[in-house]
Chain A
Amino acid sequence: GAVVSQHPSRVICKSGTSVKIECRSLDFQATTMFWYRQFPKQSLMLMATSNEGSKATYEQGVEKDKFLINHASLTLSTLTVTSAHPEDSSFYICSASKGAYNEQFFGPGTRLTVL
């Protein structure tokens, strides 16, 4: 159990367009989902925390209008990168938690390339 999927696994888009990444918990209800960004050979950087039905909490320095997060149900969260630019190219990882005192289960990640 505790499987998290992400879609798409890879996406290439043109500068100025928007891209949506989906994160799903397949066999459990996720009260909280997290979105991370990872640059090559670096650690995971938390972008935001989202709880079902409420607004996401963004980390300092993360533009909430650029990285739109929606957590519409207990099994689905989406990250939309709006007006993407080449500097937004990165590996984006989501994770999901069953709730308090529980570890996070990670999705396989999405590689975004903005041309």
Chain B
Amino acid sequence: AQTVTQSQPEMSVQEAETVTLSCTYDTSENNYYLFWYKQPPSRQMILVIRQEAYKQQNATENRFSVNFQKAAKSFSLKISDSQLGDTAMYFCAFMATSGTYKYIFGTGTRLKVLA
């Protein structure tokens, strides 16, 4: 069975600084997707970034980038130039490409951006 671990329950960062959220996972699958979702106080889940396991290049979306280390089963999220609106819960999710395509979520990291 797959598992996803987020070892940082809470983090804080100063506005305009850079912060990295960690995520590790365990799987025997070779093909899968990894995601970072943001859940602000409104509780609407918002996709931040996705990574296909077969792609070696790390995904990037504006201020958000990942460090995907497949052999180490690590998938960290870097937020550059942090903004107050980045304050939210961040969830890492794993989806195998075989079976039901359901997500396995981590326990989340609560990020607070300080003015």
Query: Which residues from B are CB-within-8-Å of A91?
Result: 43
| A residues 73-104 in Cβ contact with B at 8 Å | 91, 93, 95, 97, 100-104
Query: Which residues from A are CB-within-8-Å of B42?
Result: 108
Query: Which residues from A are CB-within-8-Å of B97?
Result: 100-101
Contact B47 A108 (CB under 8 A): no
Chain A interface SS verdict (over half)? strand
Instruction: From known contacts A91-B43, A100-B97, A109-B44, infer whether A44 and B102 are also in contact, taking CB-CB under 8 Å.
Output: no
Look across to chain B and name the residue whose beta carbon is closest to the beta carbon of A46. B102
When the two chains form the complex, which single residue of A42, A100, A106 contacts B101, counting CB atoms closer than 8 Å?
Answer: A100
Q: Does A54 make an interface contact (CB < 8 A)? A: no
Q: Does A25 make an interface contact (CB < 8 A)? A: no
Query: Which residues from B are CB-within-8-Å of A34?
Result: 102-103
Query: Which residues from B are CB-within-8-Å of A38?
Result: 43
| B residues 1-49 in Cβ contact with A at 8 Å | 33, 35, 37, 42-47
**How far, in whole Å, are A100 and B97 apart by their CA atoms in the complex?**
7
Instruction: From known contacts A43-B107, A44-B91, infer whether A109 and B33 are also in contact, taking CB-CB under 8 Å.
Output: no
**How far, in whole Å, are A5 and B106 apart by their CA atoms in the complex?**
24
Q: Does B100 make an interface contact (CB < 8 A)? A: yes
| B residues 35-67 in Cβ contact with A at 8 Å | 35, 37, 42-47, 50
Question: Which of A102, A104, A109 has the largest count of B CB atoms less than 10 A from its CB?
Answer: A104
Q: Which residues of A contact B (CB under 8 A)?
A: 32, 34, 38, 41-44, 46, 49, 57, 91, 93, 95, 97, 100-106, 108-109
| A90 CB to nearest B CB, Å | 12
Contact B33 A43 (CB under 8 A): no
**How far, in whole Å, are A84 and B43 apart by their CA atoms in the complex?**
23
Query: Which residues from B are CB-within-8-Å of A41?
Result: 110
Query: Which residues from A are CB-within-8-Å of B47?
Result: 103, 105
3 tightest CB-CB pairs across the interface, nearest first?
A106-B45, A43-B105, A108-B44
Look across to chain B and name the residue whose beta carbon is closest to the beta carbon of A109. B43
**How far, in whole Å, are A84 and B52 apart by their CA atoms in the complex?**
40
When the two chains form the complex, which single residue of A43, A103, A104, A106 contacts B44, counting CB atoms closer than 8 Å?
Answer: A106
Query: Which residues from A are CB-within-8-Å of B101?
Result: 32, 97, 100-102
